[in-house]
Structure 1
């Protein structure tokens, strides 16, 4: 092969290489251009939606805006009223409990007098109609209090509990354990689990 042919072949190869590089650059530029165009289209779409939304808000009827405001205000007031109602019911329940305990505390001395009167009835008169009538009234009285939630505090034979019992006497007696209640001097009562009157007791050892 002559020198001239070699030079021609080399020139053709170089031209082909340059053409390939140019095509590659064009392809890359085309992809970049396509990506840029897509991004610009998305941006324009977003701007269009924003403008439409703003236009819609601008065209909103003042009456609709007023209705929305009134609805929001109504919801807030309903929530406040519901909270007020719950708080009022809770306060009423607490006031009821306090009032009931106060009334029961005033009634208990009457119950004590019934018990003292029945205990004072002589043995030969316990079968009389009068004594039986008083005992029936007493039982009805106790049953009414129990139905209302009043219960007697257990004392004799129980361990002394300052939350339930009031110790007014002390005795040393081997028959009883330490801090065991030996005698009940006055009954104690609870109303719905809350102490109305402590038991007055004698504590052993």
Structure 2
């Protein structure tokens, strides 16, 4: 640059420096702020559009989960349905009631096992104290012995929990 300065006449050098100074002075602070504002607006619009797309995508995924979320449950129950169909077909010609009963008990235990894999459990009631969080007393009868007072004597309808949440209260008979 020093070699250029020596070669340039002094007038040209002053003009060049003056042009650079006026270019820097010409950048008005209002123009700079306007550019920054436009840049921020652009970033905001892009971010807003990106967020809208994210929201729409998550809503679509949620709707799919709701629609297809029970697929696992249905698949685990279908094998029990197949067993029931076979049992019905076999029972048409069967004469051994004990064998039919054993088959039905196997299917029932398989069904309970399938429900257990989905987090469903039976609420225990036999001789348990009445707990209104899990049980619904539908009848009260005199207790046959003193230690059964306030305890469950019979179950009218089995109750179930799913992942530790009651999905159906057990309907019970309580001793008084």
TM-score normalised per structure 1: 0.47
Superposed CA RMSD:
4.1
Partner Cα distance (1:194, 1:95) in 2: 22
User: Larger radius of gyration, structure 1 or 2?
Assistant: 1
Shift of 1:168: 1.3
Verify: 1:198 aligned to 2:173, yes or no.
no
Shift of 1:170: 0.8
Shift of 1:79: 3.0
Shift of 1:140: 1.4
Please show how residues 53-202 of structure 1 align to structure 2 within 5 Å.
Answer: 54=29, 57=32, 60=35, 68-83=40-55, 125-126=97-98, 128=99, 130-173=100-143, 174-178=146-150, 180-202=151-173
1:151-173: CA deviation from partner (whole Å, max 9, x where unpaired) = 11121222212232121111232
Partner Cα distance (1:138, 1:192) in 2: 21
Partner Cα distance (1:59, 1:183) in 2: 80
Q: Secondary structure at the match of 2:155?
A: strand
Structure 2: which 5+ residue stretches go unaligned? Answer: 1-23, 75-80, 82-95
TM-score normalised per structure 2: 0.53
Q: How many residues align?
A: 129
Q: Secondary structure at the match of 2:148?
A: coil
Structure 1: which 5+ residue stretches go unaligned? Answer: 1-48, 104-109, 111-123
1:33-83: CA deviation from partner (whole Å, max 9, x where unpaired) = xxxxxxxxxxxxxxxx998661761795xxx87565332211123234445
Please show how residues 23-42 of structure 1 align to structure 2 within 5 Å.
Answer: none
Partner Cα distance (2:156, 2:113) in 1: 22
